[in-house]
Structure 1
């Protein structure tokens, strides 16, 4: 469990909160490219770390992320006209380009040159992996942008969903790196079967009935890799079923893949008590991927049916108990009565409250990865506040595009620590062992 002060440090991201300052040193996956796909289309509101912004694509396809409120009289630019390479405020017609420069100021005399002395807040923008990215830290500290782990090359195929949720980022991320819950919460959607782990149209299958995984963690300077080791259905005496999740601080969890596609989660804090959750299916260049439409249908998160155009839930939410069907639970057709893997998770995350009370938890051996996640991020904040580089940007630096997760049945003698790793990642991981101090702390936490 955490102290109340540690919990505040972990969850709070607004203003000068240390966690928010750390996260702003990274490129932030702010919204999906499809939300601003149309040049001169509708500006889109997005809130990051409590800061209200507006994103748009101009006439030439350039992306801008500006402060939402006009520098003049603070009217919202979300109502603005996106036209002729700029976003024009409706109130007095001031117009800003993607860099925040004033390109027209019809309400002021041109000879005053007032426009030259005004600048709308604007953040640098990049586009990759189906996302619009922005950097919100100090300009002189801006790291080089690099491809994300779920789109390591321009030819990678990405299908993503997005949901705005009323709970803090940490309890969502903890759910993504908690392998033990999948054997219960998702048991109707991740069914045991002989053979390899694969994705069917209606559910996933995996080669184990074991609900009590052994958790082993390898801490890295970009986050951690951890293995959930289970008994396989076949040859359990000589083999293990290993699922490796890679946490790439601060926003990404690489979920164990299946034979059809890789899986990733991206969690971005909206403010202290709400977040943007993204669930991604992706494949390497040259491989087929599940289509975006099929992915959202499989996850029961279709736009216009389950979520609105701004990706807010409209069908299943806390006020109607996510339309939980207890008749299906009684017949055994559904363990939870809630369709869709993300919806099952969302019900659990939101039920904890906007910020979960972690001071009274009773954690067990299956929670070691969650314990380590908390320690990693609290340590990263403390070190950053003391002047160290942000987590993930320290030397030796591994680009995210070189990081992977893993799932498979292997001989018990196999060292899991480099399974599924790219050559660059394997070279980094080789020789690393679980730190004794970290191991003892994890054991003490569950004692």
Structure 2
């Protein structure tokens, strides 16, 4: 990959074409659980822009530029009370729509009273506060995410900061081949002695670490299948794991029998991203506490207050070599931290010109080609990828299972297939 194309793929700040693509989609600013009525404001950063998120006395959510329009002090430290966020510096108070409802330092006839804070359209769904950062006169209707087909869908969320560019994190999410090695301790094959499926860990009916990959481009992004030999009936059946990429930053990854899985890899700026891992199911699901414990992503234990990791590059992800000698493949606790150790050690922005891609990298190649082409299309004034999709996100699903060799994996990306699984 040429350096210029690598920049097109990775950079999102300012007028970068990839950032312009992101701004034509609703972006998750934070989880809904982070903002309480009259509670502490939350700092968020998206595409290099610093924001503050708060919920007012009536439960309405506001997303404003972090800096007060008066003198630039941070509103993250403000008082959230009586239906407004008050700056500590001079007492200016802002409603969720950016209107200044009190300006104690100015006389009643001050021309300053015509000012407003920069406010962004918001929407709550699927456990998140979403924000529109594109043109104010071009707000797209909000589309329900794949993991929230119904208001009562059971949703649990892991949130974790990644100290690297969003694209290399997303490439990890669509890389089905790596789980057979990197996550082999957490996702053992059914033939491993003593292996048992639990609420959080699940068995894989194949020991094939070299899947055959097939991909298909769609108008929402692409989907692909990793096809492996199953342990049972390998002559007549195949083990299939399908992954769905919903441009520009969402991935539906193969589920287990207890819950479905989705990831969002959301750019904070050029060299940081927020990793969200969602476990969901219409009826079964997994509790929030169990999900975060399994992922070793418990706030206050595994994560700091700003969602940065206790296990990080500076301390070697607390890798335990004794545990490795005892049989743990990585010696790193938790699937997300195992992934982070791979992503972050590539550098803030990976040098893709040095890659040597093989047959297991079909999805990686497709992602790079598609998103670089999408960035160039936006530069020409064409619509952003994913904004003209003919399929709703809630009609898409990933798949995991053993099927006959004659089966077409493409049919398992439909809502009908997901409904059949739920019924079973």
TM-score by length of 1: 0.91
| Partner in structure 2 of residue 142 of structure 1 | 139
| Partner in structure 2 of residue 182 of structure 1 | 179
CA deviation profile, 1:234-283 (whole Å, cap 9, x unmatched): 00011000000000111210010110000111111000000000111100
- Give the deviation of 1:360 after TM superposition: 1.0
| Partner in structure 2 of residue 422 of structure 1 | 415
1:404 paired with 2:400, answer no
- Give the deviation of 1:201 after TM superposition: 4.3
C-alpha separation in 1, matches of 2:306 and 2:269: 17
1:320 paired with 2:318, answer no
Q: Is the 8 A contact 1:147 1:153 kept in 2?
A: no
C-alpha separation in 1, matches of 2:418 and 2:126: 20
| Partner in structure 2 of residue 243 of structure 1 | 241
- Give the deviation of 1:329 after TM superposition: 1.0
In structure 2, relative to structure 1, the CA distance for the partners of 1:389 and 1:263 (3 Å cut) is: same
Q: How does 1:154-193 map to 2 (within 5 A)?
A: 154-193=151-190
C-alpha separation in 1, matches of 2:142 and 2:200: 37
| Partner in structure 1 of residue 422 of structure 2 | none
Q: Is the 8 A contact 1:199 1:260 kept in 2?
A: no
C-alpha separation in 1, matches of 2:361 and 2:417: 29
C-alpha separation in 2, matches of 1:198 and 1:221: 39
C-alpha separation in 2, matches of 1:372 and 1:356: 17
| Partner in structure 1 of residue 124 of structure 2 | 127
- Give the deviation of 1:289 after TM superposition: 1.4
C-alpha separation in 2, matches of 1:321 and 1:349: 13
| Partner in structure 2 of residue 280 of structure 1 | 278
C-alpha separation in 1, matches of 2:336 and 2:122: 29
C-alpha separation in 1, matches of 2:298 and 2:28: 21
| Partner in structure 2 of residue 364 of structure 1 | 358
CA deviation profile, 1:148-181 (whole Å, cap 9, x unmatched): 0111111111100101111000000000000000
C-alpha separation in 2, matches of 1:223 and 1:239: 28
- Give the deviation of 1:397 after TM superposition: 2.3
Q: Decide which of 76, 100, 103 is 1:102's aligned counterpart.
A: 100
| Partner in structure 2 of residue 46 of structure 1 | 44
Q: Decide which of 295, 300, 303 is 1:304's aligned counterpart.
A: 300
C-alpha separation in 2, matches of 1:175 and 1:112: 54
1:354 paired with 2:353, answer no
C-alpha separation in 2, matches of 1:389 and 1:397: 14
C-alpha separation in 2, matches of 1:362 and 1:66: 43
1:23 paired with 2:22, answer yes
| Partner in structure 2 of residue 445 of structure 1 | none
In structure 2, relative to structure 1, the CA distance for the partners of 1:198 and 1:405 (3 Å cut) is: farther
In structure 2, relative to structure 1, the CA distance for the partners of 1:198 and 1:384 (3 Å cut) is: farther
Instruction: Provide structure 2 residue ranges, at least 5 long, that are not aligned to the other structure.
Output: 420-424
C-alpha separation in 1, matches of 2:224 and 2:320: 34
CA deviation profile, 1:20-48 (whole Å, cap 9, x unmatched): 01101100011111111x10100111110
| Partner in structure 2 of residue 387 of structure 1 | 381
Q: Is the 8 A contact 1:194 1:234 kept in 2?
A: no
Q: Is the 8 A contact 2:412 2:418 kept in 1?
A: no
C-alpha separation in 2, matches of 1:208 and 1:103: 62
Q: Is the 8 A contact 1:402 1:424 kept in 2?
A: no
C-alpha separation in 1, matches of 2:411 and 2:90: 59
C-alpha separation in 2, matches of 1:423 and 1:377: 29
Q: Counterpart of 1:137 in 2: which secondary structure?
A: coil
C-alpha separation in 1, matches of 2:390 and 2:418: 10
In structure 2, relative to structure 1, the CA distance for the partners of 1:84 and 1:198 (3 Å cut) is: farther
- Give the deviation of 1:423 after TM superposition: 4.4
Which 4+ residue blocks in structure 1 deviate beyond 6 angstroms?
none
In structure 2, relative to structure 1, the CA distance for the partners of 1:369 and 1:318 (3 Å cut) is: same
Q: Counterpart of 2:171 in 1: which secondary structure?
A: helix
Q: Counterpart of 1:205 in 2: which secondary structure?
A: coil
CA deviation profile, 1:39-60 (whole Å, cap 9, x unmatched): 0100111110000110000000
TM-score by length of 2: 0.96
C-alpha separation in 2, matches of 1:349 and 1:33: 27
CA deviation profile, 1:354-383 (whole Å, cap 9, x unmatched): 101101111101001001011111111122
